[in-house]
Chains A and B, each alone.
Chain A
Amino acid sequence: MLGLNKKDFGLLTIVIILTVFAPFLLNPFPEGSALAQFNAGYPDLMQRLVIFGIFAIGFNILFGLTGYLSFGHAAFLGAGSYAGIWMIKLLTLNIVPAIVASIIVAGLFSLLVGWISLRRSGIYFSILTLAFAQMSYSLAYSVLTPITGGETGLQPKVSDPRIFDAALAEGTTPRANLFGMFMNDSYELSVAGWVFTFNVGYYIAAIFMVIAFYISIRIFRSPFGLMLRAVKSNQQRLNYTGVQSKPYTLAAFVISGMYAGLAGGLLVAMDTQAGAERMFWTASGEVVLMTILGGAGTLIGPVLGAGFIKYFENIVSKINESILQAWFSFMPEAIQDLFVAIFYPFIGKGGHLTLGIIFMLVVIFLPGGLMEGGQRIANLFKKKTKSDTGSGNASPAAAE
């Protein structure tokens, strides 16, 4: 269906179901309970989960398929953000032009960066992309202040031209919308102790993610995707088979740059601001971590990785000392203090420490990422059921 085989269509269906029901799935704990801080079902975080999912899906088309490790993809996300915010300031608060422009601008920018960086491969390619991204960051922060707003970044103001929109009344905050649906509008559903939030912005971003995921499946299953995997496997053989590798890697680079631009445009659509920090090298590193953590080269791995990292970043950083004390309060006071002291560096601002340790463990023990972990568990079950049916077949008489 939709040009997909049964297995891929199943995967797409699972992703659709997960994104549609995410407000329930991410809020498993009742409001006010001790575990409520592990709930992730609030709009801001849910939006980020799917937007960074898009970013990672795109990155995986480049890194997962061709093996070219770009360390500068945040530059395209940032470029997309700036393009988006300018559309919002100049044209309209409707997000359509912003998203279209963010994809186009990021695509053109990645064409330029890719065209130069892809003259080299391996570590030199990574360094070139990193250099480009840091250059973009520095430019956005200093020289290009008239376009980027420098340190303060850009936000829509009441006084912006917005040539397609009617003027806003003085004192109202400009809110991004899609044909009248405001991104930050939410509908809250209270069931018993639970509160589920259905946010317009989240669902719009989720639709984009499902489309992005669908396109990535199609690319993975196409002759083009196969050529990209061939680039990763053996470029020499590919060249002697009559194929030029650079146009393929450049196309993959631009496609992943456009995905990054889309993510940047959606970020702007959700929070209507853009700043240079989105281009910083840590942001580029983050998408690498997401892809590797989830499983580079797998279809759904990067989405899982993005979700995992964004969830941990937000949830672990919210845990503070008093919450730790409450957790260990059943212990005698001296031991409680000891445990709090041990765990304290890993929470709150130290949340990245926890994330780093998890990342190290995954890379060492599951080089294929979370997907490999899932596969191993699935294989365990398969073996079990096989041996079960095996013994069942061997002694049917005994069972009767």
Chain B
Amino acid sequence: MSILEVRGVNKSFGGLQALNDVNLSVEEGTVHAIIGPNGAGKSTLLNCFIGKLVPDTGTVNFNGHSLLGIKPHEINQLGVSRVFQTPEIFADLTVFENVIIACFAKRDGSFALNAMASIASQNDMKEKAEQMLIDVNMIDKRDEIASSMSRGDKRRLEMAMCLAQDPKLLLLDEPTAGMARADTNNTIDLLREIQQASGITMAIIEHDMHVVFSLAEKISVLAQGTVIVEDAPENIKGNPKVQEAYLGGAH
């Protein structure tokens, strides 16, 4: 069953056709990668999933709900969590506070006026946040201020925040961009562990082939605003269309 359905999406900026009749479906429980050379429209497509951009035509459905024209917090409440290209975390709060905020957001929805309840008394939320930190191997950094950590740890924290909400779909926007090889490999291992443990659906936007081929079960190749191939990784490598898109077709 497909959890994310993209049908006939067009988006142009002025004279530039950024997305041209994009069709794509992400199957539940799989890791789906969207790859493509620079300028292929990957980020534009992602922004259409998360309420930042509204396509000119076409539909984006998640689990039967349209994602078009609704606000980021509503999309999250439907069960879509997002990991950003540069980790977006609450930099001046502690690691634990970062994660427990995600837990509260899951429990209380988009707004709750629980001004007289003490965080210290919310044992179930505390346990959940701590368990999450144990799962991503960060419990020893529990009380550190998030901004003081390395980039790899910030990424790990951001994942923990997303996973603490038990999302139905995790969107990852170049999760290893700007990372050293070791950090990249750690992130791949982490994602693989998470996927195997929870069976969560992931959609990864990436141009690092190493990451894509180590994780994805299905790959959509985007070039010049349109999906040129959608196939399993082993068939992608030898596909002449893909080679053309990456190695010179655009010139």
Contacts and interface: CB of A to CB of B under 8 A. Distances in A.
In the complex, which of the residues A223, A224, A251, A255 has the most CB atoms of chain B within 10 Å of its own CB atom? A223
Interface string B180-203: 000000000000000000000000
Interface stretch (A30-38, A105-113, A152-160, A214-222): A214-222
Q: How large is the interface on A (under 10, 10 to 19, 20 to 34, 35 or more residues)?
A: 20 to 34
A230 interface: yes
Contacts of B125: 223
A240 B88 contact: yes
Interface string A347-358: 000000000000
A95 to B, nearest CB: 26
B119 A223 contact: yes
Given A226-B104, A240-B82, A241-B161, A248 B93 contact: no
A251 B117 CA distance: 15
Contact of B116 (A5, A222, A236): A222
A222 B117 contact: yes
A226 B97 contact: yes
Interface string A221-263: 1111111011011101111111110011001000100000000
B110 A242 contact: yes
Nearest to B76: A242
Contacts of A237: 88-90, 161
A241 B71 contact: no
B117 A242 contact: no
A248 B104 CA distance: 14
B51 to A, nearest CB: 9
A223 B107 CA distance: 11
Interface string A170-203: 0000000000000000000000000000000000
Contacts of A3: 116, 118, 121
Nearest to B97: A226
Nearest to B111: A247
B111 A241 contact: no
Interface residues of B, number: 40
A240 B72 contact: yes
B72 A224 contact: no
Contacts of B115: 218-219, 222, 224-225, 251, 255
A233 B118 contact: no
A293 to B, nearest CB: 21
B111 A248 contact: yes
B105 A241 contact: yes
A232 B101 CA distance: 13
Contact of A230 (B72, B77, B81, B101): B101
A111 to B, nearest CB: 13
Interface of A: 3-5, 218-219, 221-227, 229-230, 232-234, 236-244, 247-248, 251, 255
Nearest 4 Cβ contacts at the A-B interface: A242-B76, A233-B90, A247-B111, A224-B115
28 contacts: A218-B115, A219-B115, A219-B116, A221-B118, A221-B119, A223-B125, A224-B112, A224-B114, A226-B97, A226-B101, A227-B101, A230-B93, A234-B88, A234-B89, A237-B89, A237-B161, A238-B101, A238-B105, A240-B76, A240-B81, A240-B82, A241-B101, A241-B102, A242-B105, A242-B109, A244-B73, A247-B110, A248-B111
